[in-house]
Amino acid sequence: MLAEFLTELTDSRGQALYHVAARDRQNNAAGDDVVLSKLDDSDFDQLWLFGVDVGGGLSTNDCVAVTRFRQRGGGVLTTRDHQDLGISFCTLGGIGNAHHFHSKNQEPDSSRQTIDDTGTPSITWPNYHSGSNGDYQTVHPLEPLHPVMRNPKSASGKITMLPAHPHEGAVSVPKGAKARAIAAGHSALTGRSFNLAVAFDGNGGSGRAIADSSFHHFLDYNLDPAHGCPSFVTEKPGDGMLKNAAAREDTYAYFRNLAAWLS
């Protein structure tokens, strides 16, 4: 659904704004991804990287090429989920340092190294509970308002709702990075605030980047649970995204803004 939405976006003349290649990892004989390992030599302008691995998701050559891709101006979105999902981001450096996991690069505040979502005992921290799949969460855009968090179609002019998930990951601004948190959510169970996205401004010719706390902000199942989910997902879904048109519009604004800002 995300790929279709971005593909259908047009400019004032009706011309397509983006050509989208939605793909899974495909290794060559050396174990490198056939696209990522040569990304810096490609004609792609953006990389939207969904981290679903628990180790080994990116090869050394993949990481080197992604780094060079951003150095030559490419925009990068990294998004993962709870515990150690997407832990290969740690090997990216820079942007990867914005993501905190259970086994590596834990949140620096030790009081946050604790279980937030208690509904799924098999999943441990970081696992911030923003709501049920299929429902929406209340979002707090951080000031000064970032372009990614604007929505001129809403009364406030801001994005204030995004898809929810029972156990989101953790992101923060790496020490010394030219970046800032742009949005926060809060746990529906503990009330604890947590970052939803961190934005890295391009500098010195480098491309912009976003570190997002959960790929469930983008998934078909979270936009419409009727699309189904893997068998290991046992939590009961909600229907808030289907019932609330404003939540859907905020989410689509987030998609549009990300693509535009990363350009």
Q: How are beta strands 170-171 and 179-186 bridged, if at all?
A: unpaired
- The answer to the question of residue 9 being in a domain is no
Residue 202 in this model has a pLDDT that exceeds 90: no
166-184, pLDDT tens digit by residue? Answer: 999 999 999 999 999 999 9
Mean pLDDT of 227-235: 92
Chain Cα centroid distance, residue 230: 20
pLDDT at 208: 97
pLDDT at 205: 84
Mean pLDDT of 175-198: 97
pLDDT at 117: 97
Query: Distance (Å, rounded) from C-alpha 2 to C-alpha 20?
Result: 10
- The answer to the question of residue 21 being in a domain is no
- The answer to the question of residue 15 being in a domain is no
- The answer to the question of residue 28 being in a domain is no
pLDDT at 135: 98
Q: How would DSSP label each residue in 26-60?
A: -B-TTS-BTTGGGGGGSS--EEEEE---SS-SS-H
Contacts of 248 (CB under 8 A, 6+ apart): 223, 241
Residue 81 in this model has a pLDDT that exceeds 80: yes
pLDDT above 70 covers a percentage of the chain that reads 100
- The answer to the question of residue 47 being in a domain is no
- Our count of domains for the chain comes to 1
9-38, pLDDT tens digit by residue? Answer: 999 999 999 999 999 999 999 999 999 999
pLDDT at 203: 80
Query: Distance (Å, rounded) from C-alpha 44 to C-alpha 76?
Result: 11
Q: How would DSSP label each residue in 111-158?
A: GGSS----S-TT--SS-B----TTSEEE-EEPSSPPGGGB-TTSTTSB
- The answer to the question of residue 229 being in a domain is yes
- CA-wise closest residue to 49 among 106, 89, 98, 94: 89
pLDDT band at 225 (very low <50, low <70, confident <90, very high): very high
* Residue 252 DSSP label: H
Domain range for 167: 59-102+122-262
Query: Distance (Å, rounded) from C-alpha 154 to C-alpha 151?
Result: 6
pTM here is: 0.97
pLDDT at 93: 75
85-124, pLDDT tens digit by residue? Answer: 999 999 997 899 999 999 999 999 999 999 999 999 999 9
Q: Can you name the residues that pair with 180 across neighbouring β-strands?
A: 199
Q: Could you tell me if 119 and 129 are in contact, meaning their C-beta atoms sit under 8 angstroms apart? A: yes
Mean pLDDT of 182-189: 98
Q: What is the mean pLDDT of the chain?
A: 97
Residue 153 burial (10 A CB sphere; 0-12, 13-18, 19+): exposed
Query: Could you give the 3-state DSSP secondary structure of residue 183?
Result: strand
- The answer to the question of residue 38 being in a domain is no
pLDDT band at 204 (very low <50, low <70, confident <90, very high): confident
Residue 128 in this model has a pLDDT that exceeds 90: yes
- The answer to the question of residue 110 being in a domain is no
36-68, pLDDT tens digit by residue? Answer: 999 999 999 999 999 999 999 999 999 999 999
